[in-house]
Amino acid sequence: MHINRGNPAQYEVVVDSWPEFKAVLTRPRKEVVKDNRDYYANLHAAFYREEDACRTLLENKDAVDWDKAFQLQGLQDGLYQAVKVMAEARSVHMEPYFYQAVLHPNAAMLCQNQLRSE
């Protein structure tokens, strides 16, 4: 595993299979989260190519500890519904927060105050 530019947040990357992975989960190392109720420190992010592979990975007790409070972030369709079903099956309270990503058509225009090497 290689995380670009070091690993200051002490995260680890979990995949469903290697090298042909279909789902990726990032999470903090277990020793980083000291309080089981700290869902800010216990932040997970999910990405998948196949929704079923993501479901299987999230249901794996070695991938996600559903006994601890955690955040799960992801932008793909289907993730919310899959997590909702898993949470209901475990009688886990879940609070969804929905965000929309907005991209500027000409991002270079926004970088007017770039650092200059003089």
Q: Nearest to residue 51, comparing CAs of 74, 78, 87, 26? A: 78
Task: Note whether residue 6 is domain-resident.
Answer: no
| 72 part of a folded domain | yes
Question: pLDDT tens digit string along 1-22?
Answer: 455 667 777 899 999 999 999 9
The verdict on residue 34 lying in a domain is yes
The strand pairing partners of 27, in sequence order, are 12
Task: State which residues form the domain around 75.
Answer: 11-115
Is the pLDDT assigned to residue 115 strictly greater than 70?
A: no
Tell me the C-alpha to C-alpha distance, in Å, between residue 6 and each of 40, 43, 74, 76, 83: 21, 18, 23, 27, 30
Per-residue pLDDT of 11-68, as tens digits, reads 999 999 999 999 999 999 988 899 999 999 999 999 999 999 999 999 999 999 999 9
Tokens encoding 27: 């999470």
Whether 1 is in a domain gets the answer no
Domains: count for the chain: 1
Domain for residue 32, yes or no? yes
